[in-house]
Copies of this chain bind each other. A is one copy, B any other.
Amino acid sequence: MSKLPQYSDILDAASVLKGKAVHTPLISNAILNDRVGGQVFLKPECLQRTGSFKFRGAYNALSNVGAAGKERGIVACSSGNHAQGVAEAARLLGYDATIIMPHDAPELKKQRTARSGAKIIEYDRYNQDREELTEQHAEETGAILVHPYENFHVVAGQGTVGLEACQDLKAQGLQADHFLVCAGGGGLMAGITLAAKEVFPDIMVHPVEPEGHDDQRRSHEANQRLGDNAKTPSLCDAILTPMPGEMSFAICQGSLGEGLVVSDAQALEAVAFAYNELKLVVEPGGAVTLAALLSGKLDVKGKTVLATLSGGNIDAPVMAQALGI
Which residues of chain A have a CB within 8 Å of any CB of chain B? 22, 24-25, 27-30, 44, 46-47, 49, 51, 275, 278-282, 312, 316-317, 319-320, 323, 325
- Residue in contact with A47 in the complex, picked from B30, B278, B312, B320, CB distance below 8 Å: B278
Contacts beyond the supplied A22-B27, A320-B320: 10 A-B pairs with Cβ under 8 Å: A24-B25, A29-B49, A44-B279, A47-B280, A279-B280, A279-B282, A280-B280, A280-B281, A319-B325, A325-B325
Given the complex, which residues of B lie within 8 Å of A279, measured CB to CB?
Answer: 44, 46-47, 51, 280-282, 312
Nearest residue in B to A20 (C-beta to C-beta)? B30
Asked if residues B47 and A27 are in contact (CB atoms below 8 Å), the reply is: yes
Q: Considering the complex, give the chain B residue whose CB is closest to the CB of A108.
A: B276
Chain B residues with Cβ below 8 Å from A27 are 22, 47
A29 to B46, CA, bound (A): 12
Name the CB-closest residue of B to A51.
Answer: B279
Chain B hits for A46, CB < 8 A: 279
Q: A316–B49 Cα gap in the complex (Å)?
A: 26
- Residues of B within 8 Å of A312, CB to CB, are 279
Instruction: Point out which of A27, A279, A281, A317 has the most chain B C-beta atoms below 10 A from its C-beta.
Output: A279
Chain B contacts for A22, CB-based, 8 A: 27-28
**Cβ contact of A325, chosen from B24, B51, B281, B316, cutoff 8 A:** B316
For residue A29, which residues in chain B have a CB less than 8 angstroms away from its CB?
Answer: 49
Complex Cα–Cα for A28 and B21 (A)? 10
- Cα–Cα distance between A28 and B27 once the two chains are bound (Å): 16
User: Shortest distance in angstroms between A167's beta carbon and chain B's nearest beta carbon?
Assistant: 15
Selected from B25, B44, B316, the residue in CB contact (under 8 A) with A323 is B316
> How far apart sit A27 and B51, CA to CA, in the bound complex (Å)?
13
In the bound assembly, the distance between CA atoms of A316 and B46 in angstroms comes to 21
Separation of A47 and B27 alpha carbons in the complex (Å) = 8
Alpha-carbon distance A122/B317, docked complex (angstroms): 35
Could you say which residues of chain B place their CB within 8 Å of the CB of A49? Answer: 29-30
CB distance from A286 to the nearest CB of B (A): 10
A19–B25 Cα gap in the complex (Å)? Answer: 16
Contact residue among B24, B25, B281 (Cβ-Cβ distance under 8 Å from A281)? B281
Residue of B nearest to A48 (CB): B279
A51 CB contacts on chain B under 8 angstroms = 279
Q: Chain B residues with Cβ under 8 A from A317's Cβ?
A: 325
Complex CA gap A27/B25 in Å reads 9
Closest residue of B by beta carbon distance from A25: B25
* Bound complex: CA A29 to CA B316 (Å): 21
Question: A148: shortest Cβ distance to chain B, in Å?
Answer: 21
Alpha-carbon distance A47/B281, docked complex (angstroms): 12
Subset of 5 A-B contacts with CB under 8 Å: A22-B28, A25-B25, A44-B279, A279-B281, A281-B281
Nearest residue, chain B, Cβ from A30: B49
Smallest CB-CB A-B distances: 10 pairs: A25-B25, A279-B312, A46-B279, A279-B281, A316-B325, A275-B281, A320-B325, A316-B323, A47-B279, A30-B49
